[in-house]
Structure 1
Amino acid sequence: MAEVDYEVEYNNRARVPENPALMAGWARDAAAYRERNAPQVIRYGPGPRNTIDLFAGHDFASRDNAPIVVFIHGGYWQALDGSSSSHCARGLNAHGVSVAVPTYDLCPQVSVDTIIAEMRAATRELARLGRSLVISGHSAGGHLAACMLATDWPAYDASLPQDLVTAAYAISGLFDLVPLVDTSINKALRLDPAAARAASPLSWTPPAGRTLDAVVGGQESAEYFRQSRTIVERWGKAGVATRFGTVADANHFTAIAPLADPESAMVQRLKELAGG
């Protein structure tokens, strides 16, 4: 069996040479959406990046128990911030569903463990709004979404319910970080095999009774397909309601495009997961 070249499999910028133009499009579309729909900014910690942009849908004021869908940005835990993903709230907002977009500190200034802790703090802050949460995310954000689903919330904070996060929707997620250890990606992450395993939700106790969707772009590498199929299979056998899917004709950078389309299957599924 041929050895997998993890550098090739996980180097998305090399796989998609047009990525600078695609990411510039994110920034442009996100800025335009924020200009028309200024978010409420919520702080979850003392750092300048410890913020959440809340794009409230009409359900936020009309239903006290209306869920919030969280979208966590990607960037291999070392790039971007929530402002690059504001437009990802468009599709759900069009249906009245509220979307929260957090920002977190980046490697190598902090560790992946610290980023997980920051997203837990952000989730706890959103819990104070009295809403259940569906956590979605792209790439590294998909990893963080799975981490939030698998967190034992009462153990983290006794005031929080076990079902605080009812579902996760991971787009091009990474659930096993061990393959990244010997790649250039790890220069900023600084993970050894033990730390990579400990930060991998695939190694955690599966959150039985919850829901996980894992989808990948149809043009993504075999490793991205393997990552999502593996967690769907393993967690599914452990009592998680799992679902695997693909975004047709999408690469790693275009796989999130359906979030901005109110009529897309992705938005419809997230709306369903949010109880709408």
Structure 2
Amino acid sequence: MDFDDAYSNSAYIDGADEYPDRWDDAAHDFRSLENAFGRARLNLRYGEGSREVFDLFYPASGKPEGLAVFVHGGYWMAFDNKSWSHLAAGAVARGWAVAIPSYTLAPEARISGITGQIARAIEAAAKCIQGPIVLTGHSAGGHLVARMRCADVALAVADRVQRIMPISPLSDLRPLLQTKMNETLRMDMAEAKAESPLLCKGLRDIPTHVWVGANERPAFLDQARWLADGWPDTQLTIAPDRHHFDVIGDLAEPDSEMVKALLV
């Protein structure tokens, strides 16, 4: 198997180059409007690193029902939280606050270090919002929120987490050892095993719902199925007519099945 091809998404999505600008524009418009209405707190810190920040969006309805956290993807090597603000729209419209963190990218950080950053970001956001917490993330972000169910990850607010929704997650990192991107990720077999949610030795009792697009690369469909089959109390949804780049769009829609499943 050509693992570089297996885990390449852009080459198999029509108009792939247009998506980053589309995400940036939608995120900017949503963030600017919410900030103008006083419903956004931007660039809140959860650590000393330059990228250890998160944006927090509040519902218009008053006291939030709880906290939703979205963690972005990019193979731990690309993007920051500013490209995804619009994905808060669905949960915010249903009365939830939404936190979207950035994190240090590889090669400056290793995946194990990023996992710890996300735990600290969730803890910091949880200090701002009372009530239950739900976690979702896409691709590498799906990996990172899945790791929050693993007992080896220190997460002080784990008892408040009522649901995790990894979207198109990377659940077993061992295949990535055979890709060129590992020149940047710098994983060895020990880290790949330790950071693979599928291989976690102990799991927290948190219901999990894996979501993946039906039109994604076979490798991503495999990764989603492995996690759903390998973890107890885990559902799987294969969304029709969705690929790796548009599968997250339903987070912006308050009445979408994705948002309803996340906030159950």
TM above 0.5, one fold?
A: yes
Q: In 1, Cα distance between the equivalents of 2:255 and 2:102?
A: 27
Q: Does 1:230 align with 2:230?
A: no
Does structure 1 retain, via aligned residues, the 8 Å contact 2:126–2:157? no
Q: In 2, Cα distance between the equivalents of 1:260 and 1:173?
A: 19
Alignment match, 1:264: 256
Alignment match, 1:165: 161
Q: In 2, Cα distance between the equivalents of 1:58 and 1:31?
A: 19
What does 1:1-276 correspond to in 2, within 5 Å?
A: 4-38=1-35, 39-41=40-42, 42-58=44-60, 61-62=62-63, 66-129=65-128, 130-151=130-151, 156=154, 160-236=156-232, 241-272=233-264
Q: In 2, Cα distance between the equivalents of 1:97 and 1:120?
A: 20
Q: In 2, Cα distance between the equivalents of 1:19 and 1:150?
A: 33
Q: Deviations over 1:13-47 (max 9, x none)?
A: 22225222012100010000011012213210011
Q: In 1, Cα distance between the equivalents of 2:52 and 2:126?
A: 16
| Residues 145/19 of structure 1: CA separation in 2 closer, same or farther (3 Å cut) | same
Q: How far does residue 253 in structure 1 lie from its aligned partner after superposition?
A: 0.5
Deviates more, 1:101-110 or 1:17-26: 17-26
Q: In 2, Cα distance between the equivalents of 1:20 and 1:113?
A: 29
Q: In 2, Cα distance between the equivalents of 1:267 and 1:40?
A: 22
Gaps in structure 1 of 5+ consecutive residues: none
TM-score by length of 2: 0.92
Q: Calculate the aligned-residue CA RMSD, in Å.
A: 1.7
Q: How far does residue 206 in structure 1 lie from its aligned partner after superposition?
A: 4.5
Deviates more, 1:121-130 or 1:262-271: 121-130
Q: How far does residue 212 in structure 1 lie from its aligned partner after superposition?
A: 0.8
Does structure 2 retain, via aligned residues, the 8 Å contact 1:68–1:134? yes
Secondary structure of 2:159's counterpart equals coil
Gaps in structure 2 of 5+ consecutive residues: none
Whichever residue aligns with residue 88 of structure 2, its letter is A
| Residues 103/247 of structure 1: CA separation in 2 closer, same or farther (3 Å cut) | same
Count of aligned pairs between the two proteins: 258
Does structure 1 retain, via aligned residues, the 8 Å contact 2:151–2:204? no
Instruction: Indicate the percent of aligned positions where both proteins have the same amino acid.
Output: 35
Does structure 1 retain, via aligned residues, the 8 Å contact 2:164–2:262? no
Q: How far does residue 168 in structure 1 lie from its aligned partner after superposition?
A: 0.7
